[in-house]
Amino acid sequence: MTKVQPLLPSSIDSLRSGKRVDPLTPGLYIEVNALGRKVWRYRRRIAKSQVIVAMQLGCFPAYPIAAARMWAIGLNEAVERGEDPRAALRAETERAAMTVEKAHGLYMAAMRRGDRKRLKPRTIKDKEVMFTRDIKPRLGSVILDALTEDACWDAVYDKADASKDRANKMAGELSCFLKWCSGREGQMAGIKLAAHPAPTLNSNWFDTGPKANQRFLSDEELKLLLRALADEPFSYRRGFLLLLLTAARKTELLAAPASEFVDGLWTLPPERSKNGEANYIALGRWGRSLAATNHVWLFPSSRIDGPHLCGWFKVRDRIHARMEKLADRRIPSWHFHDFRRTFRSNARRLGIDRDIAELMLNHKRKGIEGVYDKNRELELRAAGFAAWEAFLSALAQEEGIAPHLGIPTSAETS
């Protein structure tokens, strides 16, 4: 009977070609490769299968006998259970390469497909913008498995230095994304995150003061606004006046292509609408003159081939400061969305029916009415927008600034 030769450093040193099997560790052997290096290798069939596992560790003596045996013992435990140890190794490699940015790409792909819930196009766009603008610069390159709660909160607190409101939204979106990654959907997408790394993130952490959802402009404030707009460059004056006249959402108007305006009717398509429904806004003579353009976009950018979407908040602050100077007193701040609330607050006094005012704002009909009433009420909407334009025109006339705002005279309208 042949005596089994133990695997010793001396026997490995004397090996010049071929291979030598370790008699104490199934599957493990050392082999001299074409370059004369002695490489540890493993080869064994997985239990109850025909799959052969072949793997390589490294060279001797960088990996001594004890280290090679420990490596092979771990592999043997897997193959004897009927598992392929390479799968676990691939998963570990994938986890090591899974950055926050890469995981977010998988997350957004699932959001666009609507695997569990169909999101509005506007919601998807908001998620993309928030990640690109707020999350990616700080956390995008971090390995997802290495992401900590402190790192998440540090990024949120940094954002709070610029805007507490945006920091709250960032925290809420980051928490939603990480919850997806650590949940069943994330696992199905190939993300192996054992638990939410920052469960304390929430969208109400910073006190941002009273919400702006009660603010609307009084008649006096509207007059001050119109006077302040008279001194504004035409491109911005035109934008703010159209926001007032249409009571439209800021992005829906400012990102509009000119082709949506035909014979004084602005048709907002469902894919650009916040609620996914088309909206129809009939412009009066003043609105038509403001919307007239020879450009592809209603508000073309001077820097890129697209709409002019940047700088409007700075202009708002400039107009607000001018209003305070004209009034010689402090005026509460206002937001673009407050124009919509201002229209809605004046609709009844202008004789606009409640339901028509809601349609003019492109609010969805609710309940059974939303299911069965599909009448677009275009004539009543047109009458409502005409009444609203006449109201704003009258305020400008009272202040003596109608010509400065491009309001057609009675001769022009006849």
How do residues 288-344 score in pLDDT, each as one tens digit?
A: 999 999 999 999 998 888 999 989 999 999 999 999 999 999 999 999 999 999 999
Q: Which amino acid is at 384?
A: G
Instruction: Please return the burial class of 337, using the count of CB atoms within 10 Å of its CB with bins 0-12, 13-18 and 19+.
Output: middle
How do residues 47-60 score in pLDDT, each as one tens digit?
A: 888 899 999 999 99
196 located within any domain: no
- The candidate with the shortest Cα–Cα distance to 263, out of 246, 282, 245, is 282
Those residues with Cβ within 8 angstroms of residue 291's Cβ, 6 or more apart along the chain or in another chain: 242, 261, 264, 266, 283, 298
**pLDDT score of 121:** 84
Q: Which residues pair with 56 in a beta bridge?
A: 41
How do residues 209-250 score in pLDDT, each as one tens digit?
A: 555 468 899 999 999 999 999 999 999 999 999 999 999 999
Record the tokens describing residue 196, joined without a space: 């939410």
- The candidate with the shortest Cα–Cα distance to 413, out of 319, 226, 301, 287, is 287
**Phi, psi at 356, each rounded to 5°:** -70, -40
Same domain, 346 and 295: yes
How many domains would you assign to the chain?
3
Q: Is the pLDDT of residue 373 over 50?
A: no
The residue out of 120, 153, 188 marking a domain boundary is 188
Same domain, 403 and 255: yes
203 located within any domain: no
Same domain, 234 and 321: yes
206 located within any domain: no
Residue 414's pLDDT band, with cuts at 50, 70 and 90, is very low
Q: What is the CATH number of the domain that holds 105?
A: 1.10.150
**pLDDT score of 86:** 84
Tell me what the mean pLDDT of segment 40-53 comes to: 91
Rounded CA gap, 330 and 176, in Å?
Answer: 39
- Round the average pLDDT of the chain to a whole number and report it: 89
319 located within any domain: yes
Same domain, 164 and 63: no
Radius of gyration of the chain (CA): 34
Same domain, 230 and 177: no
Full strand arrangement of the beta sheet holding 28-32: 19-21, 28-32, 38-45, 52-59
Rounded CA gap, 59 and 56, in Å?
Answer: 9
Q: Which residues form the domain of 145?
A: 98-188
Same domain, 255 and 149: no
**pLDDT score of 66:** 94
**pLDDT score of 375:** 64
91 located within any domain: no
Task: Please give the C-alpha separations between residue 57 and each of 6, 36, 54, 67, 325, in angstroms, as whole numbers.
Answer: 20, 16, 10, 10, 76
What DSSP state is assigned to residue 8? Answer: -
406 phi-psi bin (left φ>0, alpha ψ -120 to 50, beta other): left
Q: Is the pLDDT of residue 352 over 80?
A: yes
Task: Please give the C-alpha separations between residue 250 and each of 56, 111, 227, 239, in angstroms, as whole numbers.
Answer: 61, 24, 21, 9
How do residues 81-134 score in pLDDT, each as one tens digit?
A: 998 888 877 766 656 678 899 999 999 999 999 887 888 888 899 999 999 999
Q: What is the CATH number of the domain that holds 397?
A: 1.10.443.10
Q: Which amino acid is at 335?
A: H
Record the tokens describing residue 358, joined without a space: 């809601």
Handedness of CA 359, 363, 368, 372 (dihedral sign): positive
Nearest-5° Cα angle at 404, 398 to 410: 65
How do residues 161-186 score in pLDDT, each as one tens digit?
A: 888 889 999 999 999 999 999 998 98
Rounded CA gap, 254 and 308, in Å?
Answer: 7
DSSP state letters, 380-399:
HHHHHHHHHHHHHHHHHHHH
**pLDDT score of 1:** 44
Q: Which residues pair with 199 in a beta bridge?
A: none
Tokens 């980051």 sit at which residue?
A: 174
Same domain, 110 and 252: no
Percent of the chain at pLDDT exceeding 90: 68
74 three-class SS: helix
**pLDDT score of 210:** 54
What DSSP state is assigned to residue 306? Answer: S
How do residues 253-263 score in pLDDT, each as one tens digit?
A: 999 999 999 99
Same domain, 296 and 331: yes
Same domain, 259 and 372: yes
Same domain, 316 and 394: yes
Q: Is the pLDDT of residue 285 over 90?
A: yes
CA dihedral 97, 99, 101, 106 (to 10 degrees): 60
Same domain, 263 and 143: no
